[in-house]
Amino acid sequence: MHAAEQLAAAKINGGAAMAAMMLPNGGNPQQPSPRRPEQHQQGAAGGLNASPASLLPNSAKENKNSSTNLIKKEGTSSGKGATSSSTDQEREAGVRRTQDPKTLRRLAQNREAARKSRLRKKAYIQQLETSRIRLSQIEQQVQAARVQGVLLGTTGDQHHQLQGLPNSAPSVAGMFDAEYGRWVEEHGKLIFQLRAALNEHVPDCNQLQALVGAAMAQHDELLNLKAAIARADIFHLLCGVWASPAERCFLWLGGFRPSDVIKVMLKHVEPLSEAQLLGIYNLQQGVQETEEALNQGMESLQHSLSDTVAAPEVSAGNFMGHMSLALNKIASMEAIVRQADSLRQQTLQKLHQTLTIRQAARCLVAIADYFHRLRAISTLWAARPRHDQQGPHP
């Protein structure tokens, strides 16, 4: 009996020890548990019969709760995944509908139709611009032909009678001066458009080429006008009263010196390739040689004309024959002026052929600016304050 009592007491003490381990304070006897005494006794008595879940520590319970929450979250996210998967299915269905052969063919046809429409619109705009420039050229040619018809036709009273104008109508020289002023104005407008196209970096080469062609046509028109006045009044063309005073200082045989134009171009048009530089230098050398030959021919004619007019053995009966010889020399001067105009025209054409379209445009703008500055200098010089208008100096 005594041994059995001891075994029962040991069991009771073992259950109490296990219950103490489950207390919040870790079984520390110095910190009593907040549980009531009867609860403590029940826990001690039922320690042996407690379930395994109740015997787990708090950290294990928290891990179990977190596992439960994670399972719930996975269930919720699986619901969301089902929704997103349905959206993906709808999207895949739309892609399959887009990849349908009929749909793809219709989209390709729409893109091709839009591309052709853009090309037609661009071609139409280019055609309108080209037609406008061509119309302007035709108007200028008609005007030049009308002026040439007047200059090459009758002069004086016969011209006044044909035109029904009074005797105070302008002379041939006056009409040429007026036409030259109109040409300067029209050429300035075209150069303004050409400069704007260069500054805006127009990618359309056809538009730039049309403007360059129009500017070249205007230079040809001026040469035709000068050829007409040369046949009507060569002295008016050579003296240069139709140009500004500053332009007259650089006048060469009734116009600009081609070698000067090449120098202006070289200062403003760059970069140039080696082939372009070689061609331009060869052109410059040939132009200078032709200029020198024409200068010698004109100087020889002027000396010969002076000797013919100053001949002392002119008799009264031979006077008209002597004057006829002088007139022939003046006609030879007209031929030299025409050769100079032809050299000017050939120089511009060869520069146009050597340069690219954009370089040719810059070349024409630089030449126009050069003569515009000469005219501006003439205006400023004429408007300058003079000493006699400022009064006597103190």
Give the residue with greater pLDDT, 285 vs 393. 285
For 260-271, what is each residue's pLDDT tens digit? Answer: 999 999 999 989
Tell whether omega for the bond before 37 is within 30 degrees of 0, i.e. cis.
no
- Give dist(CA 342, CA 354) in Å, integer: 18
* Separation between Cα atoms, residue 180 and residue 18, nearest integer Å: 125
Q: Each residue of 206-217: pLDDT tens digit?
A: 888 999 999 999
More confident residue, 251 or 140: 251
Tokens coding 358: 């954009």
In degrees and rounded to multiples of 5, residue 281 shows phi and psi of: -65, -40
| Overall average pLDDT of the 142-171 stretch | 51
State the distance between the two ends of the chain, measured CA to CA, in whole angstroms. 157
Cα gap 228→147, rounded to integer Å:
8
Q: What is the mean pLDDT of residues 121-143?
A: 75
| pLDDT band of 169, cuts 50, 70, 90 | very low
Residue found under tokens 């082939």? 275
Q: Could you tell me if 179 and 141 are in contact, meaning their C-beta atoms sit under 8 angstroms apart?
A: no
Residue 43 reports pLDDT greater than 90: no
Least-confidence region, from 80-89, 181-190, 260-269: 80-89
For helices 172-199 and 205-232, give the axis angle rounded to 10 degrees: 170
Q: Where are the domains of the chain?
A: 106-152, 172-383
Residues in the chain: 394
pLDDT value for 174: 87
* Nearest C-alpha neighbor of 188 from the set 382, 348, 367: 367
- Looking at every residue in the chain, the average pLDDT score rounds to 76
Q: What would the mean pLDDT of 74-86 be, rounded to a whole number? A: 51
347-371 pLDDT per residue, tens: 999 999 999 999 999 999 999 999 9
The pLDDT > 90 percentage for the chain reads 39
Which tops the pLDDT comparison, 259 or 71? 259
Residues 378, 240 contacting (CB under 8 angstroms): no
| 213 vs 391, more confident | 213
- At what angle are helices 101-152 and 205-232 packed, to 10 degrees? 10
Predicted confidence (pLDDT) at residue 140 exceeds the cutoff of 80: no
Among residues of the chain, what percentage have pLDDT more than 70?
63
pLDDT at 214: 92
Is the Cβ–Cβ distance between 380 and 256 less than 8 Å?
Answer: no
Mean pLDDT of 195-211: 84
Which residue from 358, 366, 363, 356 is spatially nearest to 273, judged by alpha carbons?
356
Buried b (16+ CB within 10 A) or exposed e, 118-136: eeeeeeeeeeeebeebeeb
Residue 172 to residue 155: CA distance in whole angstroms = 7
| 12-26 pLDDT, tens digit each | 555 554 545 554 444
Q: What is the 3-state secondary structure (H, E, C) of the chain?
A: CHHHHHHHHHHHHHHHHHHHHCCCCCCCCCCCCCCCHHHHHHHHHCCCCCCCCCCCCHHHHHHHHHHHHHHHHHHHHHHHHHHHHHHHHHHHHHHHHHCCHHHHHHHHHHHHHHHHHHHHHHHHHHHHHHHHHHHHHHHHHHHHHHHHHHHHCCCHHHHHHHHCCCCCCCCHHHHHHHHHHHHHHHHHHHHHHHHHHHHCCCCCHHHHHHHHHHHHHHHHHHHHHHHHHHHHCHHHHHHCCCCCHHHHHCCCCCCCCHHHHHHHHHHHCCCCCHHHHHHHHHHHHHHHHHHHHHHHHHHHHHHHHHHHHCCCCCCCCCHHHHHHHHHHHHHHHHHHHHHHHHHHHHHHHHHHHHCCHHHHHHHHHHHHHHHHHHHHHHHHHHCCCCHHHCCCCC
Q: What is the pLDDT of residue 234?
A: 92
User: Would you tell me the crossing angle of helices 258-268 and 357-382 to the nearest 10 degrees?
Assistant: 110
Report CA dihedral (5, 8, 9, 12) to the nearest 10 degrees. -160
User: How much is the pTM?
Assistant: 0.60
The pLDDT score that the predictor gives to residue 213 is 92
Structure confidence at residue 153 (pLDDT): 54
- Give residue 351's identity as a one-letter amino acid code: L
